[in-house]
């Protein structure tokens, strides 16, 4: 995708960025599991609940994509803060999808943990 | 809130708006309103909206150009996915081609498909106006073997060579041309759909 920062960067760093990026959709959908949230709340939840370093400029376009795919819906709600907020909630398709993704995640991380067990035990 | 702070926010949003070309008006309004709401709330996190707070909020969002490009990519592909318009699809494919090799090949294939579809239809139409010269012709080429060629019928009647289909080019050209354009559209849309799913969802 963006090769601009590839030159000076170590492969490990790029790998980590890709890994975090890949988890972001699942993280956002999971954050909405308990009920509707607006953009900044989603960001705060991701920052406090995980060590995903989230770029704000990534989350909003991503939310718009999730909406276009029918996994979340949105509504504007007036707030005391003086400006309306755009709340997002999972659609039935989104709920279904996040359950499937969580299942895949559990299987994947389980098998990875097994594979990595020797490293954790040390030499 | 101070005027220059307001102005800074508006300048950012208007640069963003300018870059969201082709996104429908309602959607642009939603995007801009949502980000304005975000910036205001972020900047006011410590109570008052300050210039420093606004600058920090804008910096955290990244440049309006970068942000717009993130919105645009998916928007173009999303519209290509539901679209049946070759123009819309090609637009989406051009964007995809700029992102990946796979996109480039899908774009290339689609251009070829559309090109031949359009040529077939054009020849079918041209036959009505140039009955004696338009059509699918075979000629002996320089090495003596025969080659096929579509003629739109401009120029004189070829001395050697043969009009293979005659009037049949009209229905065949139309049917085959339309079928090719539709097939290309279907295949391109299928690829776009796979691609959009693959960037969103983890694969098994």
- Alpha carbon separation from B137 to A36, B75, B141, B146 (Å, rounded): 65, 44, 12, 10
User: Measured between CB atoms, which of A39, A55, A104 is closest to B38?
Assistant: A39
Are B89 and B57 in a shared domain? no
Are B97 and B184 in a shared domain? yes
The structure tokens listed for A111 are 């098998």
CA distance B35 to A25: 19
Q: Is residue B152 part of a domain?
A: yes
Q: Look at B38 and A40 and tell me if their CB atoms are within 8 Å.
A: yes
Reported as a single tens digit per residue, the pLDDT across B55-88 is: 999 999 999 998 998 888 777 787 788 778 888 8
Are B43 and B118 in a shared domain? no
Instruction: Give bridge partners of residue A72 from the DSSP assignment.
Output: A90
Q: Look at B41 and A64 and tell me if their CB atoms are within 8 Å.
A: no
* DSSP per-residue codes, B125-156: HHHHH-TTT-EEEEEE-TTS-EEEEEE---SS
Residue numbers in B near A83 (CB within 8 A): 36-37, 40-41
Are B113 and B46 in a shared domain? no
Q: Look at B74 and A65 and tell me if their CB atoms are within 8 Å.
A: yes
Residues of A with CB under 8 A from a CB of B: 1, 22, 25-26, 38-40, 55-58, 60-61, 64-66, 68-69, 76, 81-86, 97, 101, 104-105, 108
Are B42 and B134 in a shared domain? no
Interface test with B, best of A2, A64, A66, A79 (most B CBs within 10 A): A64
The structure tokens listed for A95 are 């709920």
Query: In CATH terms, is domain A24-121 a member of 1.20.1250.20?
Result: no
Residue A82 φ/ψ region, left for φ over 0, alpha for ψ in the -120 to 50 degree band, beta for the rest: left
For the packed helices B86-97 and B64-82, what is the interaxial angle rounded to 10 degrees? Answer: 140
Reported as a single tens digit per residue, the pLDDT across B91-114 is: 889 888 887 888 999 999 999 999
Q: Is residue B76 part of a domain?
A: no
Q: Is residue B177 part of a domain?
A: yes
Residue numbers in B near A68 (CB within 8 A): 74-75, 78
**Range(s) of the domain holding residue B11:** 1-62
Residue numbers in B near A38 (CB within 8 A): 37
Reported as a single tens digit per residue, the pLDDT across A57-98 is: 889 999 998 998 889 999 999 988 778 999 999 999 999 999
Rg over alpha carbons for chain A, rounded to the nearest Å, is 17
Residue in chain B lying closest to A57 (CA):
B61
Residue in chain B lying closest to A83 (CA):
B37
Four-residue CA torsion sign, B132, B135, B138, B139 = positive
Please report the number of interchain residue pairs, chain A to chain B, with beta-carbon separation below 8 angstroms: 75
Polymer length of chain B? 204
pLDDT category, B182, cuts 50, 70, 90? very high
Determine phi and psi for B100, rounding to 5 degrees. Answer: -150, 160
Are B112 and B164 in a shared domain? yes
Distance from CA of B99 to the nearest CA of A (A): 5
Exposure string for A69-84, b = 16+ CB within 10 A, e = fewer: bebbebeeeeeeeeeb
Q: Is residue B112 part of a domain?
A: yes
Are B135 and B41 in a shared domain? no
Q: Look at A105 and B202 and tell me if their CB atoms are within 8 Å.
A: yes
Its pTM stands at 0.67
Domain count, chain B: 2
Determine phi and psi for B146, rounding to 5 degrees. Answer: -85, 145
Rounded to an integer, what is the distance from CA B109 to the centroid of its chain?
13
Q: Look at A55 and B70 and tell me if their CB atoms are within 8 Å.
A: no
- What are the residue ranges of helices labelled H in chain B? 3-19, 25-43, 51-61, 64-82, 86-97, 101-129, 169-200
Are B123 and B158 in a shared domain? yes
Say which residue the tokens 């077939």 belong to: B120
Determine phi and psi for A85, rounding to 5 degrees. Answer: -120, 145
Reported as a single tens digit per residue, the pLDDT across A49-59 is: 766 777 888 89
């Amino acid at each position: 995708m963006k090769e601009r920062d590839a030159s000076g960067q170590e492969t490990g760093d790029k790998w980590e960025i890709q890994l975090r990026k890949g988890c972001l959709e699942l993280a956002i959908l999971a954050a909405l599991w308990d009920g509707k949230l607006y953009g900044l709340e989603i960001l705060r939840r991701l920052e406090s609940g995980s060590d995903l370093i989230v770029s704000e400029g990534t989350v909003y376009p991503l939310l718009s994509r999730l909406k276009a795919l029918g996994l979340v819906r949105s509504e504007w709600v007036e707030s005391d803060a003086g400006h309306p907020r755009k709340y997002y909630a999972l659609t039935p398709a989104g709920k279904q999808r996040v359950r499937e993704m969580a299942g895949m995640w559990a299987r994947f991380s389980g098998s990875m943990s097994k594979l990595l067990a020797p490293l954790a035990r040390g030499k | 809130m101070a005027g220059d702070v307001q102005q800074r926010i508006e300048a950012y949003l208007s640069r963003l708006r300018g870059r969201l070309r082709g996104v429908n008006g309602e959607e642009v309004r939603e995007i801009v309103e949502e980000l304005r709401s975000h910036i205001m709330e972020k900047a006011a996190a410590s109570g008052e909206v300050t210039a420093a707070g606004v600058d920090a909020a804008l910096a955290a969002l990244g440049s309006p150009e970068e942000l717009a490009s993130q919105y645009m990519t998916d928007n173009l592909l999303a519209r290509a996915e539901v679209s049946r318009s070759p123009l819309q699809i090609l637009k989406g494919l051009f964007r995809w081609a700029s992102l990946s090799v796979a996109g480039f090949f899908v774009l290339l294939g689609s251009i070829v498909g559309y090109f031949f579809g359009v040529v077939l239809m054009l020849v079918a139409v041209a036959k009505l106006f140039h009955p004696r010269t338009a059509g699918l012709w075979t000629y002996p080429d320089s090495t003596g073997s025969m080659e096929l060629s579509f003629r739109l019928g401009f120029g004189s009647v070829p001395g050697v060579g043969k009009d293979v289909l005659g009037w049949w080019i009209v229905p065949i050209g139309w049917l085959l041309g339309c079928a090719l354009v539709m097939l290309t559209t279907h295949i391109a849309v299928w690829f776009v759909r796979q691609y959009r799913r693959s960037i969103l969802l983890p694969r098994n």
